[in-house]
Amino acid sequence: MVDTYKPMDVFDSMTECTFILKPTTQQSQQQKQQPQKKSRAKSAAGRRSSMAAGREDNADHDISANGGFVPLLQGKEPVESMELRRRLFADMWTPLEHLLSETEKRVNNEGVTEVCDFVSASYTRVETTEKGQLASPFAEIATAVVFSGVNTGDHSNLFQSLQDQLYENSHYVVMLESQYCTSLPNMLKSMLEQVAAGLGIGTGGGSKGRAGGGTGVGFKGIPYDMSLLRIWWDEATPRKGSRIVVILQDFEGFGPLVVDDFIRIAANYCQDVPIVVVFGLATSYECVHQSLTKASISMLNVERFNLQRSKQCIDTVIRSVFVESASVLSFGAEAYKSLLDQFLLYSFSITGFVKKLKFAIMDFFYAQPLSVLSAMVSRLDQDGNCATFSIRECPIRLCQEQIELIRMQRSVQRFFDKKVEMDGDDGRKYTVKALVDDDFLQDSVLPEMLRHLVSYRQSYSLGISMVQAIQDTMPEAQHKPLRTLHYYGISQLFDEGTHWKTLSAAIRRMKVPEMEQLLTRFDSILNSSDSLDLQYVETSGTDIKSLLQQARELVANPDQTLKDEGYGEGKTLADAPSKRIRTRTDMDNRPFLLFDNSSTDQELRALDICCGYIESILRACLSPYQNVPLYEVFYYRHSFLLDTTFSAQPRAAVQTALGKSQYYIDCDCCNGSSAVGDDDRDDEADERIMPSMNDTSIAYRLHQECGRMINLYDWYSAFSSVVEQESTFMPKAPSQSEIQARFLRASEEMRFLGFIKSTQRKTDHVVRLTWGH
């Protein structure tokens, strides 16, 4: 619904960052805040996840230069590498942003066109086949009720495209917003001004045109009177077939009485002036019935349109961005879940989705020193169309640190291990060379690893398409949307997921003609993507194309092929003679065979083998991304960062600030025993109440030790005994009255924050509103 992301909220979530807020008028790719690590980062290094090495920086660097990009790797990153990251970010985000907005527009467009057609067709006599027609006794206003989904944040885009299309069809559009229509006069004023601007009417008689704007000037001294509308309409000799479309974008926000009166007035004019009303409804049609009276509802001739398409839109976005890899950066399972949960569980907001995506991409290019590698993989061309993958040479030489970082990645180590395992001595030589020779690593090993990645991405996309093809043969109830399929695809092994099992069961239930159809579809999927490079997927022992070919032959000619192949491979056809259900396992796995009498044994056998082939194809295609070398770089993992940035937890932040203030302040004075700086400070040290702490923090910690009722005097005594120790580091101890004043302020703040409240039940006591310690 409403987007949660406000720049202010991110402050409480990041511990070791400073923030620089730049004026937003700068170039669009420059960003609002730049994470930069404080020089004291070391003491807190354990708390932040993984990328710590990447975020460090020499403190005196001018960070506002270079669009906020700073040399990573303790400042050892060469400038050209940093410049490259900066360029790459722009190269990647600009077309992607274009792609996203285009997708949204395209998805909305269909519904918008329907509404436009309705508007154009309104007030024309509909020829019906029915005889004995009577005219309705009511002068009905043509009304389109548009269900636009509960996420009001995205509506402006939708209604903007509706408005644009209505203009194109030469209608006059009046957009009314509830905040400017709190009363009937305001509403009519707003409407008449926009109509006048549209019809080009001003008191001066000159045409002002649509963009003219300042129509209010010409209206001095004239009340906003609807009867003017009729006069204008007659005078202006408008284009033929055009209507005045009044759009109430957020119907829920309007006062019911205002809309009611408006409709009653408009109904008086709709016979002379073709007024079409569009209600944008976020909830349900019931809302119209709740807010309008019977009298005015009978004046509406309603047509309903469902324009709620944010889920469709998200599916399309996920297909193009993640499955077809429009962006080189993909999301790991955790981060993807965080991205999707925000959408499905909380908001249905596409804007929010796009913001999170952008944040992740920013984080990638700003903080990941290996993000330069994405220069070697290109996918999108400048217009945002998906081009084919290609591996290019990296435009810069990687520095020593970057190379080391690559070698340090677990997946790269696994890649080398596998090489050794498979190629024996050659592999060993290769590995040694790669580990020692930097140039060799960059020039031959890196491209190979990236080809691996590209190949995986292609086969993954293929696998998802195949899964969808199988899904199409299944009943509607078992279909899963693409966003869920993708989540399964990256989070579950093929053999483990329940949905994958359902799919297997579905193909095992197929008969020959169905199987043939499915295989033909697979074939066309395989052929539709050009320049497939499946070499690296196929190293795992499955050659997708030939498997498919075999399956097709099998199904086309079960008897013949089976004879050649079944015996040839040593598969024991012999022990499967004419009996269909032999064992209990058969019974459990394929009970439908009991009822299937239409297929011959050979066919059944062939189908069985086919199913095995399809399963192994899918298993190969949907293998986990963790097998791909350098996945740590190209699969975004910082779901924690996304969560803390976009779903702020104000309550938890306040509690941490008061109870564990050193987490935020990170000062030496309050750490007590941890002055030594070791990371394994125990809880006891955490809980020691130091006089150097903030007063409210002291009061908070003290109150945690109390029961439900807090005796104010006891609390005060404890407070003062802590505060009095200030004399250890201050020139003189605070006076009694000062302590009293400070205590009052601290307890007031506690009350304000909602930790305590006053009570009448016991004198000089307050009630604690939180539990536990």
Partner 1 sequence: MSTADVSTQLSEKFPGRGEQVDQLLSLLGEPTDASPGCIFVYGPSASGKTSVLQSLFSHYQAGKTRVAFVSGVECFTARLLFERTLNAWAGHVPSKDNAYSNYRKCDSLVDFVARASELLGGGEEETHYLVVDQAERLRGTSVLTSLVRLSELLGSQANVSVILVSAVVWDKFRVRHGGATDPTLVFFPRYTKAQTLDILAHDCPPGEPSGFFLTFVDALYEVFHRNSTSVQELRHLVAMLYPKFVQPVFEGQATRSEFSRLFKLCQPYFSAASERLYLREISTSEWQRVAPASAKNRAEDVAQAIYELADGSGSGIMDLPYYTKFLLVAGYLASYNPSRLDMQYFARGKDPSAKGRKRKRQADDALGGQKRQQLLGPKAFAIERLLAIFYSIVAEAMDSSVDVQVQIASLVTLRLFTRTSNGDRLDGVKCKCNVGLETIRAISRSVQFEVDRFLYDFA
Among 1, 90, 526, 657, binds partner 1 (CB under 8 A): 1
Contacting partner 1 (CB under 8 A), which of 21, 59, 217, 295? 295
Q: Which of 358, 386, 325, 310 is nearest to 108 (CA)?
A: 310
Min CB(639)–partner 1 separation in Å: 13
Where would I find the H helices in 292-370?
294-297, 310-318, 333-341, 350-367
d(CA 64, CA 466): 48
Interface of this chain with partner 1, residues 342 to 371, rule: CB under 8 A? 342-348
Q: What share of the chain is helix, strand, coil (3-state, %, to 5)?
A: 60, 10, 35
Which CB atom, from 252 or from 538, has the smaller least distance to partner 1?
A: 252
- CB nearer partner 1, residue 148 or residue 327: 148
Residue placing its CB nearer to partner 1 in the complex, 282 or 628: 282
226, 192 Cβ separation under 8 angstroms: yes
420 vs 425: CA distance, rounded Å: 7
199, 247, 300, 618: which one binds partner 1 (CB under 8 A): 300
Please say which residue, 238 or 629, places its beta carbon nearer to partner 1.
238
Q: Which residues, 6+ apart, have CB-to-CB distance to 139 below 8 Å?
A: 267, 268, 270, 271, 299
Least separation, in Å, of the C-beta of 244 and partner 1? 17
Of residues 179-218, which lie at the interface with partner 1 (CB under 8 A)? 184-185, 201, 203-205
Which residue has tokens 């020959």?
A: 512
Cβ 730 to partner 1 shortest distance, Å:
36
- Scanning 303-311, 356-364, 421-429, 532-540 for contacts with partner 1 by CB under 8 A, the matching segment is 303-311
Residue in 265, 271, 353, 280 with CA at minimum distance from that of residue 311? 353
Candidates 64-72, 89-97, 293-301, 742-750; binding stretch for partner 1 (CB under 8 A): 293-301
Q: What are phi and psi of 695, to 5 degrees?
A: -60, -45
Q: Closest separation between CB of residue 454 and partner 1, Å?
A: 36
The string of DSSP codes covering 552-574 is HHHHHSHHHHHHHHHHHTT---T
Q: Considering only residues 683-742, where is the footprint of partner 1 by CB under 8 A?
A: none
Task: Output 199 or 450, the one with its CB closest to partner 1.
Answer: 199
Q: How far apart are CA 174 and CA 190, in angstroms?
A: 8
| Closest CB 107 distance from partner 1, rounded Å | 16
Nearer to partner 1, 225 or 383 (CB): 225
DSSP conformational letter for 174: E
Site for partner 1 in 69-128 (CB under 8 A): 126, 128
* String marking each residue 733-772 x if it binds partner 1 according to CB under 8 A: ---------------------x------------------
The answer to the question of residue 303 lying near partner 1 (CB under 8 A) is yes
In the bound state with partner 1, the residue whose beta carbon lies nearer, of 167 and 305, is 305
Nearer Cβ to partner 1 (261/686): 261
Min separation Cβ 470 and partner 1, Å: 27
Task: Give the helix/strand (H/E) hosting 144.
Answer: strand 141-147
435 binds partner 1 (CB under 8 A): no
Question: Least separation, in Å, of the C-beta of 39 and partner 1?
Answer: 31
Distance CA 103, CA 313 (A): 7
Q: Is there binding between residue 257 and partner 1 (CB under 8 A)?
A: no
Which residue in 150, 526, 576, 665 binds partner 1 (CB under 8 A)? Answer: 150
Closest-CA residue to 54 (of 40, 79, 34, 74) = 74
Residue 237 binds to partner 1 (criterion: CB under 8 A): no
Taking CB under 8 A as the binding criterion, the range among 146-154, 434-442, 509-517, 610-618 that sits at the site for partner 1 is: 146-154
CB of 460 to partner 1, least distance (A): 27
- In whole angstroms, the minimum distance from the beta carbon of 134 to partner 1 comes to 4
Strands 765-768 and 709-711, bridge-based pairing? antiparallel
We find the least distance from the C-beta atom of residue 247 to partner 1, in angstroms, to be 18
Least distance CB 477 / partner 1 (angstroms):
14
Total number of residues binding partner 1 (CB under 8 A)?
A: 79
Q: In the complex, what is the shortest distance from the CB of residue 771 to partner 1, in angstroms, rounded to a whole number?
A: 12
Q: What is the 3-state secondary structure (H, E, C) of 254-308?
A: CCHHHHHHHHHHHHHHCCCCCEEEEEEECCCCHHHHHHCCHHHHCCEEEEEEECC
8 Å CB contact between 240 and 142: no
In whole angstroms, the minimum distance from the beta carbon of 747 to partner 1 comes to 17
Residue 503 near residue 468 (C-beta atoms within 8 A): no
Are 622 and 489 in contact, with CB atoms under 8 Å apart?
yes
Q: Cα–Cα distances in Å, from 350 out to 3, 341, 503, 679?
A: 10, 12, 30, 41
Closest approach of partner 1 to the CB of residue 695, in Å: 22
Q: Which of 179, 284, 557, 736 binds partner 1 (CB under 8 A)?
A: 284
Secondary structure of residue 247 in the 3-state scheme: strand
Which bin fits 694, alpha (ψ -120 to 50), beta or left (φ > 0)? Answer: beta
Q: How far is CA 115 from CA 148, 247, 270, 303, 671, in A?
A: 12, 12, 19, 9, 65
227 binds partner 1 (CB under 8 A): yes
Q: Helix, strand, or coil here: 756? A: strand
Contact 434/416 with Cβ under 8 angstroms? yes
The interface with partner 1 within residues 630-669 (CB under 8 A) comprises 643, 647-652
Please select the residue that binds partner 1; options are 253, 255, 447, 659, rule is CB under 8 A. 253
* Close Cβ partners of 151 (under 8 Å, ≥ 6 residues apart): 1, 310, 347, 348, 349, 350
Of 282, 329, 551, 756, the one binding partner 1 (CB under 8 A) is: 282
Task: Convert residues 412-431 into a mask of x (bound to partner 1 by CB under 8 A) and - (unbound).
Answer: --------------------
Contact with partner 1 (CB under 8 A): which of 97, 114, 177, 261? 261
In whole angstroms, how close is the CB of 115 to partner 1 at the nearest point? 13
Among 288, 294, 692, 333, CA closest to 488: 333
User: Which of 235, 272, 421, 559 touches partner 1 (CB under 8 A)?
Assistant: 235
User: Given the complex with partner 1, which of 283 and 478 has the nearer CB atom?
Assistant: 283
User: Which CB, 19 or 752, lies closer to partner 1?
Assistant: 752
Return phi, psi of residue 619, to 5°: -60, -40
For partner 1, the binding residue among 89, 147, 456, 522 (CB under 8 A) is 147
Of residues 19 and 285, the one with the C-beta less far from partner 1: 285
Residues of this chain, 120-139, that bind partner 1 according to CB under 8 A: 126, 128-138
- To partner 1, the closest distance from the beta carbon of 4 in angstroms equals 5
Residue type, 246: V
Q: Which two tokens stand for residue 755?
A: 């930790």
* Distant-in-sequence, close-in-space partners of 725: CB < 8 Å, separation ≥ 6: 691
**Binding window for partner 1 (CB under 8 A); candidates: 41-49, 147-155, 368-376, 560-568:** 147-155
Q: Which stretch binds partner 1 (CB under 8 A): 208-216, 284-292, 399-407, 426-434?
A: 284-292
